[in-house]
Amino acid sequence: MSEFDLDLRNAEEQLEGGDDGGSEVVLGVLDGGTDPDEWIGAVEAGKILVLNVEGDLNRLAAGFAREVRDAGGTLMRFRGFLVVTPPGVGIDTDRLS
């Protein structure tokens, strides 16, 4: 077997090391009970939203959908959920076809 150098001393610290530039996934319910500015703020902060839609999607998302799209984000309905991603985070739908 070949030898390799693996430094485990700092591994735990790196795994728990706060913001590494990765996105956080926020699970929520889209039912009109949350201020649309909260959803916009979460997406602007780089978070991915997975929202269970309870009601008319067009009406419920009207307060933030345009702002998210105009900023370069993506919105996609999948089954009973709305997936919202910030700019630079795509949604791969290749396995749906």
CB 45 within 8 A of CB 20: no
Q: What is the pLDDT at residue 16?
A: 55
* CA terminus-to-terminus distance, the chain: 43
3-state secondary structure of 83: strand
Tell me how far apart the alpha carbons of residues 97 and 81 are, in angstroms, rounded to a whole number.
18
Residues 6+ apart with CB under 8 A from 11: none
The pLDDT of residue 23 is: 77
Q: pTM for the whole thing?
A: 0.77
The encoded tokens of residue 87 equal: 């700019």
Q: What is the pLDDT along the chain (97 residues), one digit of tens a residue?
A: 555 555 556 555 555 555 555 679 999 999 999 999 999 999 999 999 999 999 999 999 999 999 999 999 999 999 999 999 999 999 999 998 8
Tell me, what's the pLDDT at 97?
Answer: 81
